[in-house]
Structure 1
Amino acid sequence: MIRKILVVFLLITSTTLLAQKTNSSPYSFFGIGEEFSPRTVEQHSMGGIGVAYNHYKYLNFTNPAANAYLRYTTYAFGGLNNDLTIKSGGEKQKSTSTSLSYIALGFPIGKNAGFSLGLQPISSVGYSLVNNSFDVNGDLKAVTLYEGDGGINRIYGSFGMKVFKNFSIGIEADYSFGSIENSITNQIDEVSLATKYKEDNIIRGGAITFGTQYQKLLKNNLYLNAGATFKLGNDLRVTGNEYLYSLTLGSNGGDIPRDTLSNGAVNGKYRMPLKSILGVGLGKFDKWYLSLEYENQDAIQVLGSLSNTNAAYRYEDSNRFSLGGYFLPKINSISSYWDRVTYRAGVRFEKTGLSVDGSGAGTNFTTINDFGMSFGLGLPLKQLSNVNLGFEFGKRGTTTNNLIQENYVNFRLSLSLSESWFQKRKID
């Protein structure tokens, strides 16, 4: 039955993930958009931890070495609803966006190895901002509209295997692809034609990630986990075109192009440095688990004709600290359903690697930080499947230096379907 559901769902969702608007953050205006590391809903609910974590039926998008511990074929998909409150000065604005977060399949290979593959977004662009300019008398003189849409997705395949009793290694290969469109439309009072700058970019690139995990059984059924991943440096190539033209604004909000003022080719790359994640965890099997994780990456480099497109931002070193875990009262409880529910929680502090100058002069940059608190529930279904709910409350950015502060509430939902697909049938 599960396999029939998978076929139908894959046909419906495989194109939906690539076609939707997945973001409403003003910070997605910069670079390749708002970046996020692929994680399952279960991982997000625990503050984003995962490099040292493994489970026999849950997928792990952080460390390919965790595939070695899969004992069941697991299909998972997740969705996100983001409620955003934007603060700038004394003004507030609210927005909501909904998107599909991932489609993935993992399965064991023998007793000591596993493989997973999937499709996930890794950055998104989706903003629409209006800036009104007034004269000394308070009369409207000009309107500037900033719009952007698109993002980058990735397909990946990862393999993990145990090389010793307590030690596993893994490798992941992925290919990123997508398109981003940014535009700035300016209309000045008493000028018949508006002007519009538009940039259409196509982005492509591949990457390799290596991972390791060590698991040691202690006394009283306790176990100690340690893990590390290293995503090798890679390039995201950017090709496209930029246009500057005059236009007439239509009554339905669309634009009617008039004269092309200039056009040219965009050709450059985002050089992504080595990204490393280290973590350690302690727990008791199917009872509780607690983990601490640290992620670090040097500043992204912008090369080619992209380097001078926007002097209002720059990239810097990024890092993240996460602390989280889960508690499962009694996995085989008969008397209480809620004793079989998995309760998850975590906290995360992240230096995003983006620095923005609110004045636009290119001389006064402010680091954009992100802080979030999360919790979630793993609701068991029949057999080995689960519905996972996750809630996250956080703040990104600041109102100082003419910038924007985002207060967000994320609701995540996933379905994890597990089944034994490749077991040999026994004949009595």
Structure 2
Amino acid sequence: MRSVSTTLIRLSLSFLVTGFTLLNANAQENSPFTRYGLGDFYNGSNAITRALGGLGAAYSDGTNNNVGQAINFMNPATYSNFFMVSYDLGLTFDTRNLRSENPAGKFRSNYFYPSYVGVGLPINRVKGIGMAFGIRPLSRISYSIVSRERVAGDSLATIYEGSGGLNQAYVGIGKKWKNLSIGFNTGMNFGRREIGTKKIFINDSTFFFQSNSSTLTSFSGMFFNPGFQYEFSVGKKVNEQTKTTSNYLIRIGGSATLSQSLSASQDQKRETYTESQAGDITIDTISIKNGIKGNIQMPSTYAAGITLHKTASNNRGTFEMWSVGAEYTATQWNKYRFYNQADQLVNSWQLKIGAQLCPDPLTGRSYWSNVNYRIGAFIGKDYVDPDGNGLKHVGFSVGAGLPIKKWNNYDRQFTVLNTALQFGKRGSGVNNITESYVQFTLGISLTDVWFQKRRYD
């Protein structure tokens, strides 16, 4: 009979390969903000923390029956809470509206992309050791902008295009000692940045070939992301009539992604070309330079948060009743360098708040009373600064954790669908270009006793 470990490894690898294929699907996005740095950085948290306004440093699931077990890769200390194997997949649908004041204009884009795919598993439940591994996109570059002008009596169209982004393959481990948990993620950040500028003269009497200047940069490098959480009780109450114990706890947490240097290789091409039905045809190559070595300096990110939550215990188990929390994150983008060149980036920060409520998980009588309802909000400063006025970034979110199948029996079934609906805006009245967006994320946490040794065949 096939061993449990072999079956688990094959299932996990198959899950990650499927996720990697999805991550490489093209998203139909077109945003000028992705021109800067390594593109538009995604909200890198799972569906639960997205619904909580982005809380991740001091949030942890997997400790109580009714929450389930998603993978909080924002703080690897939470891996110590894994009690069963969990397969976690996030999918996001995003719609964005760009508004320009001068020249006046509007642009809308809709696109779909996988947010994350990962596997979490306990290594030693008694000693509180768990691990997780997976892959997720960190940023995306996707823009195509046309500028028109008159030069020496002729019309000139300039097309600015960009594609690519940054991805992450990670593996992490967490360990718990009584109230303290620590952990770390490490792995590889990798991606590409392909940008090009095409110039097209439009003239009725004279024909001009078009020009194309393109640069393709591939990069990769190791990263390190440590984290910790510490939890302590601030009060207990026992209801003798219902035989229920209520416990009020405070959890503090912090995490950091240390600065890193990505090794890069760049190919440059300068040419004239003409268009045909078969595609662009090169007329004359002016310059080709391949394999230009360099580095990309990525900045450090720090996060710290606090959560107050209530648990209740009876003969059915321990349940999360409610939680409220706050978190502050900051990234030192002034230290970003691309081949020793700075970009129009500034240090960013966010202040986040969130709350979660489960109405009545103790009795297990009603499905909707076992659902976890979530709400959150954030305010901050974006890292992109295209016009020198800074981009204010605000948003709020709602969501729910929907238990699947045996929602009234937590002996071995913890599969949950986590949803998050986010509304946000980048920019304000001082900016020429502003962006508003709506994101819907569906997180699927497939957690169960996948392998159970039978007593009888």
Task: State the TM-score, normalizing by the size of structure 2.
Answer: 0.83
In the TM superposition, what whole-angstrom CA distance separates every residue of 1:230-253 from its partner, at most 9, and x where no partner exists? 22221122211122211112357x
1:173 and 2:186 matched: yes
1:254-312 CA deviation, whole Å, 9 max, x = no partner?
A: 4222112233354332222332111000011311111100112222535464627xxxx
Distance 1:275 1:281 in 2: 20
Q: Deviation string for 1:144-201 (max 9, x for gaps)?
A: 22221111111101111112x1111111112111122111111122252111111111
CA 1:279–1:404 in structure 2 vs 1: closer, same or farther (change >3 Å)? same
Distance 1:387 1:277, change over 3 A: same
Contact in 2 for aligned 1:397/1:406 (Cα 8 Å):
yes
Q: Are positions 1:243 and 2:269 aligned together?
A: yes
Structure 1 pair 345/303, CA: closer, same or farther in 2 (3 Å)?
Answer: closer
Alpha carbons of 1:371 and 1:197: their partners in 2 closer, same or farther (altered >3 Å)? Answer: same
Are 2:299 and 2:336, in contact at CA under 8 Å, matched by a contact in 1? Answer: no
Residue 314 (structure 2) aligns with: none
Please tell me whether residue 261 in structure 1 is matched to residue 274 in structure 2: no
**In structure 2, how many angstroms separate the alpha carbons of the residues matched to 1:248 and 1:306?**
34
Task: Determine which of 173, 177, 183 is the counterpart of 1:159.
Answer: 173
CA gap of 1:116–1:326, structure 2 versus 1, over 3 A, is same
Structure 2: how far apart are the matches of 1:316 and 1:354?
A: 6
Q: Is the 8 A contact 2:16 2:135 kept in 1?
A: no
Choose the corresponding residue for 2:33, options 13, 22, 27: 27
- SS state of the match for residue 385, structure 2? strand
Give the total of aligned pairs: 410
Amino acid at match of 1:169: I
Corresponding residue for residue 380 of structure 2: 350
Q: Deviations over 1:316-347 (max 9, x none)?
A: 22211111121111225544221111111111
Shift of residue 76, structure 1, vs aligned partner: 0.6
User: What is aligned with 1:224?
Assistant: 250
What SS class does the counterpart of residue 282 from structure 1 fall into?
strand
Gaps of 5+ in 1: 358-364
**SS of equivalent residue, structure 1 residue 249:** strand
8 Å contact kept, 2:130–2:174: yes
Q: Which residue does 1:193 correspond to in 2? A: 209
Q: Distance in 1 between matches of 2:421 and 2:444?
A: 15
> In 2, are the aligned partners of 1:283 and 1:290 still within 8 Å (CA)?
yes
1:385 to 388, 395, 415: 415
2:433 corresponds to: 404
Query: Residue in 2 aligned with 1:97?
Result: 111
Q: Does 2:141 align with 1:118?
A: no
Q: Counterpart amino acid of 1:154?
A: Q
Looking at structure 2, the residues matched to 5 and 422 of structure 1 have their Cα atoms a distance apart, in angstroms, of: 12
The corresponding residue for 1:362 is none
Supply the distance in 2 between the matched residues of 1:344 and 1:186 (Cα, whole angstroms): 50
Moved more, 217-226 or 125-134: 125-134
* 2:196 paired residue number: 183
Supply the distance in 1 between the matched residues of 2:294 and 2:200 (Cα, whole angstroms). 30
Alignment of 1:2-401 (within 5 A): 9-21=15-27, 23-36=29-42, 38-56=44-62, 57-89=69-101, 90-111=104-125, 112-133=128-149, 141-163=155-177, 165-190=178-203, 191-220=207-236, 221-251=247-277, 254-265=279-290, 266-285=292-311, 286-303=320-337, 305=339, 307=341, 313-357=343-387, 365-382=388-405, 383-398=413-428, 400=430
Segment of structure 1 superposing worse, 343-352 or 372-381: 343-352
Going from structure 1 to structure 2, the CA distance change for 1:228 and 1:425 (only over 3 Å counts) comes to: farther
Greater C-alpha radius of gyration:
2
CA contact (8 A) 2:25 2:113 kept: no
Question: Partner of 2:34: helix, strand, or coil?
Answer: helix
* Letter paired with 2:229: Q
Amino acid aligned to 1:44 = R
Letter matched to residue 64 of structure 1: P
Q: Deviations over 1:46-94 (max 9, x none)?
A: 1110101111122211111111122222111011111011101131111
* Equivalent position of 1:360 in the other structure: none
C-alpha separation in 2, matches of 1:329 and 1:291: 18
Aligned-pair CA distance for 1:114: 1.0
Q: State the TM-score, normalizing by the size of structure 1.
A: 0.88
Gaps in structure 2 of 5+ consecutive residues? 1-6, 63-68, 237-246, 312-319, 406-412
Does the C-alpha gap of structure 1 residues 13 and 28 become closer, same or farther in structure 2, counting only changes over 3 Å? same
CA RMSD of aligned residues (A): 2.6
* Whole-angstrom CA distance in 2 between matches of 1:88 and 1:188: 26
The one-letter amino acid of 2:217's match is N
Letter in structure 1 aligned against 2:434:
Q
Give the distance between the partners of 2:28 and 2:58, measured in 1 at CA.
29
Q: Is the 8 A contact 2:36 2:345 kept in 1?
A: no
Distance, in Å, in 2 between the alignment partners of 1:305 and 1:55 is: 41
Q: Give the direction of change, closer, same or farther, for the CA distance of 1:28–1:327 in structure 2 (3 Å limit).
A: same
Distance of 2:194 and 2:151 partners within structure 1: 31
CA distance in 2, matches of 1:204, 1:374: 33
Structure 2 CA distance for aligned equivalents of residues 32 and 22 of structure 1: 17
Instruction: Indicate if the aligned counterparts of 1:272 and 1:300 stay in contact, CA closer than 8 A.
Output: no
Aligned equivalents of 2:353, 2:100: Cα separation in 1? 30
Q: Is the 8 A contact 2:58 2:306 kept in 1?
A: yes
Report runs of 4+ in structure 1 exceeding 6 Å deviation. Answer: 2-7, 422-427
CA distance in 2, matches of 1:123, 1:159: 24
> Aligned partners of 2:254, 2:85: CA distance in 1, in Å?
24
- Cα distance in structure 2, aligned partners of 1:282 and 1:333: 23
8 Å CA contact 1:340, 1:380 repeated in 2: yes
Contact 1:141/1:189, CA 8 A, preserved across alignment? yes
Determine the structure 2 residue equivalent to 1:413: 442
